[in-house]
Amino acid sequence: MTATPGATPTIVLVGHGMVGQRFLEALAERGLTATHRVVVLCEEPRPAYDRVQLTSYFSGRTPEDLSVTDMRFIEDHGIELHLGDPAETIDRAARTVTARSGLAVDYDVLVLATGSYPFVPPVPNKDATGCFVYRTIEDLLAIEEYARTRARTGAVVGGGLLGLEAAGALKGLGLDAHIVEFAPRLMPVQVDDGGGAALLRTIRDMGLTVHTGVGTQEVVTDGSGAVTGMKLSDGSELATDMVVFSAGVRPRDQLARAAGLAVGERGGIAVDEQCRTVTDPHVFAIGECALAADGRVYGLVAPGYEQAETAAATIAADEASFTGADLSTKLKLLGVDVASFGDAHGTTENCLDVVYSDSRAGLYKKLVIGADGTLLGGILVGDAEAYGTLRALTGSVPPVSPESLVLPAGADPGAQLGVTALPDDAIVCSCNNVRKGTIREAVTQHRCTTVPEVKKCTKAGTTCGSCVKVLGRLVEAELEASGVEVDKGLCGCFAQTREELYEIVLALRLTSYRELLDRHGREGARGGDGCEVCKPAVGSIIASLAPVIGASGYVLDGEQAALQDTNDHFLANLQKNGSYSVVPRIPGGEIAPEKLIVLGEIARDFGLYTKITGGQRIDMFGARVEQLPLIWARLVDAGFESGHAYGKSLRTVKSCVGSTWCRYGVQDSVRMAIDLELRYRGLRSPHKLKSAVSGCARECAEAQSKDFGVIATSGGWNLYVGGNGGATPRHADLLAQDLSDAELVRLIDRFLMFYIRTADRLERTSTWLERLPGGLEHVRDVVVHDSLGICDELERLMRAHVANYRDEWAETVDDPEKLARFVSFVNAPDTPDPVVSFVPERDQIKPDLPLLAIGLRPADDVLEGSAQR
């Protein structure tokens, strides 16, 4: 039926995966959500989530973390999202879709984004108890439960992308994992024999058993119908408690078939270049369910996004077409980089291969070069650092020899060539089809000056992130080409970066900010007083290096006191009404009853507000500045020490109860958390540091939201770095896995000292990791493989910190000279600050802020000579 005149036209989207969500965003960008009713019928019980990162669920990410759907976006655009209610029938004559619930929706435009389903080989007992597929979050939940309660060994059928991820998930759950692949090599679609051999060696070294060149003949079961093994095509039998099928996917085109829409011989809803079905102009198909006009079903998210954009543009009456897509891909499977781009298998006539292979290191790099020198494609295994630049150069003749692009000395061709070598039509971000020229325009025409601004403007780097490094170089190069001078100096006082100042202080053993400013400051800054930017930054550098440069380790000694920010001046956090918080260290969250009693007595005696924090410690608020020494004297006598809540240093190392108490725990997370917190306490750094240790993959300590987090495995510890749970959350990245206690501590030592050495002022590890050229791979090369040869020095610096640690409050309460600073007013030391007042709330206190509410400053207007807050 046709739309009723004057009625709001309706767009119905069937399916709400990543491609479906991108389609909705494309509709909104073109204003169609304001002019159309948009209805979404979704089979799964949750909105669109990141299926590419599905396996990260087993590393601690929650379904909510994986979501790619902003529900505020859905609400703001009036989109009607029906979860758990899939479309069951399409009446094309009446233009009506009916859902499982009975909901019938008339449509003017119907868009099918039904995705794909897992292919399960037709072997006997394929549906037995203990057989699973690996496709949705619900699949993962079922696998996790079965592995926890009924399995010790698991076998994955399929050695492709999802198969390797599934095997890694089973290993992470503590199972002995096997991979069964019918092809003679792993990942047969993406890599060749050489790449497959390098990948095989690395994966076997991780403790997984791989069976290639064999197929599954039968799933063996016991009398109850549960899996006990598998019969393979070579006559062998594999004992296993669980089978996970990950042998590829097929387009979900059943709904389209039933509606009489044309499908391909091997599946897929046939569409034209506008992603409109060839059967019905009112029906579109996008993503893995669509058979594109070039005769291919694209199983990657990037082509699906392009199809979504094409369909939305066509509906908006804009010109757009989908004529094919770049199938390049960069993945990290079981911690191993694997990438392929262009004509990776060398199918072009008269092409040549340039290959570098190091079986000992698990490296394999191959470039396919055309007869005229054009870079046609390539494969990278074990080191995909060059992927972004090489893929962008595909289709052109590189300005350097192909050999230099794969040899170790040329591991980063982007550094050799410079991004200016890329043509404007080179695709920098294949996920979102963003070309170099578009990025240049973002800088020159839209006045973007930072990578985040360019990301927001162009969407480049917002999906898989593999192009961010090249993106950063492009932005910097374009700014320089535009005549914009990028001053990388720390501030107006220093032309050097924080990293450069760190090296100067370390090399020259400078212990004085004044000496550093006079010798290395900008011309006009020498002899001055410095500024609020560089003074605390240099103070932090000197404090970090104090044991090795001969400086005082006490941050309030001499000149150091003048460099500290507000909180460090009184070794406590200033609160909104002028009072301070008291935060003693409670390593790992473990505390004896006697110490709990002491905290309660102190809070009661001084009338403090108490709160148990998310970092597993007890904060006490409301202390007047003159009360701080009295409180800390009692805390020190009871065995407490500073929790450094006021400093740019380690805060806490959170932990679950681990294997000591928890029935799921595989390692003693409490002991490890305590050891790490006591090792790194007082470590001054560019920004605060938070950590956590989880005793199993269930991740109760939330280690992957920390600057460095540790998760126990059956083989040791996995180390994650660069997480942040703050205003801009970022999941930590896996740096190394299955580490012994000694290996774990050594790598954390190196990581922290490398961060302290190279980060910018007030830069969290998450931001630093994303900004650092090479990102995680560079950090891994430096701290794991010692590529710069500095690991001995990093370890030496950390040993010096550990050996020279002294509790700041213990030193303070024993020194009358140091105690003299703890007064509200220097000219009236016995006078308490009259503005610091409280009112009762829930059997405790809260700040009373009547003066602050009308703009009166809390102390300076009451008595002259107020101590600096």
**Per-residue model confidence (pLDDT) at position 60:** 67
- Sequence-distant (6+) residues with CB within 8 A of 863 are 825, 827, 828, 831
With 70 as the cut, is the pLDDT of residue 415 above it?
no
**According to CATH, where is 3.30.390.30 located in the chain?**
326-417
CB within 8 Å of 830: residues ≥ 6 apart? none
**Which one is predicted more confidently, 59 or 578?**
578
What span, in angstroms and rounded, lies between the C-alpha atoms of 429 and 439? 10
User: CB count, 10 Å around CB of 217?
Assistant: 17
β-strand pairing of 153-157 with 242-245: parallel
Confidence of residue 655 (pLDDT cuts 50, 70, 90): very high
SS3 780: helix
Q: Is the C-alpha dihedral spanning 412, 416, 421, 424 positive or negative?
A: positive
Looking at the DSSP assignment, which residues form a beta bridge with residue 693? 655, 710
3-class DSSP assignment, residue 279: coil
Q: What is the mean pLDDT of residues 393-410?
A: 75
Cβ neighbours of residue 709 closer than 8 Å, sequence gap 6 or more: 691, 692, 693, 694, 701, 702, 703, 719, 720, 721, 723, 732
Is the predicted pLDDT of residue 1 greater than 70, yes or no?
no
Q: What is the pLDDT of residues 73-100, one digit of tens each?
A: 999 999 999 999 999 999 999 999 999 9
Section 745-768 average pLDDT: 94
**Predicted pLDDT at 849:** 61
Q: Which positions ≥6 away from 295 have C-beta within 8 Å?
A: 264
Rounded to the nearest 10 degrees, the angle between the axes of helix 791-804 and helix 741-758 is 100
Annotated binding site for [4Fe-4S] cluster: 656, 662, 696, 700
Q: What is the DSSP string of 440-486?
A: HHHHHTS---SHHHHHHHH-TTSSS-TTHHHHHHHHHHHHHHTT---
Contact predicate 626/644, CB 8 Å: no
Q: Tell me the mean pLDDT in the region 746-757.
A: 96
CB 241 within 8 A of CB 150: yes
CB 81 within 8 A of CB 74: yes
Tally of helices (H runs) and strands (E runs) in the chain: 31, 38
Give the residue with greater pLDDT, 383 vs 742: 742
| Closest alpha carbon to 498 in 541, 551, 527 | 541
Domain 326-417 part of CATH 3.30.390.30? yes
Tokens representing 335?
């911690």
DSSP at 174: T
Q: What does residue 310 show for φ and ψ, rounded to 5 degrees?
A: -65, -45
Tokens 């009607």 found at: 80
Residue 614: name the closest of 575, 570, 645, 574 by CA. 645
Nearest CA to 629 out of 778, 806, 815, 463 is that of 815
Give the whole-angstrom CA distance, residue 864 versus residue 419: 59
What's the mean pLDDT in 624-634?
Answer: 93
Instruction: Give yes or no for residue 455 having a pLDDT over 70.
Output: yes
User: 425-486 in CATH: which number?
Assistant: 1.10.10.1100
In this structure, the number of other CB atoms found within 10 A of the CB of residue 452 comes to: 13
Q: Give pLDDT tens digits for 500-525.
A: 999 999 999 999 998 999 999 988 88
Share of the chain above pLDDT 90, in %: 52
3-state secondary structure of 748: helix
From-to residues of CATH 1.10.10.1100 in the chain: 425-486
pLDDT digits (tens, 9 = 90+) for 366-389: 999 999 999 999 998 887 777 877
Side-chain-side CA neighbours of 6 within 13 Å: the count stands at: 0
- pLDDT band for position 411 (cuts 50, 70, 90): very low
| Highest-confidence segment of 289-303, 408-422, 813-827 | 289-303
In the numeric block, which tokens belong to residue 288?
């893995």
Pinpoint the alpha helices (H) of 1-103.
18-29, 32-35, 63-66, 71-76
**Amino acid 816: pLDDT:** 87
* Strand residue runs (E) in 103-251: 104-106, 109-112, 116-118, 131-133, 153-157, 176-181, 209-212, 216-221, 227-232, 237-239, 242-245, 249-251
Q: Is the pLDDT of residue 412 over 70?
A: no
Q: What whole-number distance in Å separates Cα of residue 436 and Cα of residue 444? A: 12
Q: How do residues 108-167 score in pLDDT, each as one tens digit? A: 999 999 999 999 999 999 999 999 999 999 999 999 999 988 999 999 999 888 888 889
The least confident of 176-190, 557-571, 774-788 is 557-571
Check if the beta carbon of residue 598 is closer than 8 Å to that of residue 606. no
Angstrom distance (rounded) from CA 321 to CA 551: 66
- Pair of tokens at residue 638: 């009871």
Give every CB contact of residue 148 below 8 A, 6+ residues apart in sequence.
173, 664
**In this structure, what token pair is assigned to residue 317?**
């009456």
Average pLDDT of the chain is 87
- Residues annotated in a binding site: 656, 662, 696, 700
Coil, helix or strand for 623? Answer: strand
For residue 614, give every residue at least 6 positions away whose Cβ sits within 8 Å of its Cβ, in sequence order, or none.
654
C-alpha to C-alpha distances, 446 to 28, 419, 454, 458, nearest whole angstrom: 21, 20, 9, 10
Ramachandran sector of residue 224 (left: φ over 0; alpha: ψ -120 to 50; beta: rest): alpha
Q: What is the pLDDT of residues 172-210, one digit of tens each?
A: 888 999 999 999 998 887 888 888 888 888 888 788 899
Task: Decide if 261 contacts 282 (C-beta within 8 A).
Answer: no
Pull the structure tokens for residue 159. 């050695």
pLDDT at 344: 87
pTM of the model: 0.56
Tokens matching residue 517: 């400013």
What CA–CA distances, in Å, run from 169 to 244, 249, 557, 769?
Answer: 11, 19, 52, 25
Give pLDDT, residue 679. Answer: 96
Residue 235 makes CB contacts below 8 A (sequence gap 6+) with none
What is the average pLDDT across 768-793?
89
Fold for 131-247, please state it: FAD/NAD(P)-binding domain (3.50.50)
Give span(s): CATH 3.50.50.60, the chain.
10-117+251-315, 131-247
Q: Among the listed ranges 71-80, 626-635, 779-788, 860-869, which one has the minimum average pLDDT value?
A: 860-869
Find where tokens 């995909």 sit. 384
> Binding site membership for siroheme: which residues?
700
- What is the number of alpha carbons within 13 Å of residue 430 lying toward its C-beta? 24
Check whether domain 10-117+251-315 has CATH 3.50.50.60, yes or no: yes
pLDDT tens digits, 216-250: 999 999 999 999 999 999 999 999 999 999 988 89
The rounded distance, in Å, linking the Cα atoms of 326 and 334 is 24
Q: How confident is the model at residue 334 (pLDDT cuts 50, 70, 90)?
A: low
Number of neighbours of residue 205 by Cβ within 10 angstroms: 10
User: 856: pLDDT confidence band, cut at 50, 70 and 90?
Assistant: very low
466: confidence class by pLDDT, cuts 50, 70, 90: low
CB 538 within 8 A of CB 560: no
The reported pLDDT for the residue numbered 464 is 65
Name which of 219, 251, 216, 212 is nearest 119 in CA terms. Answer: 251
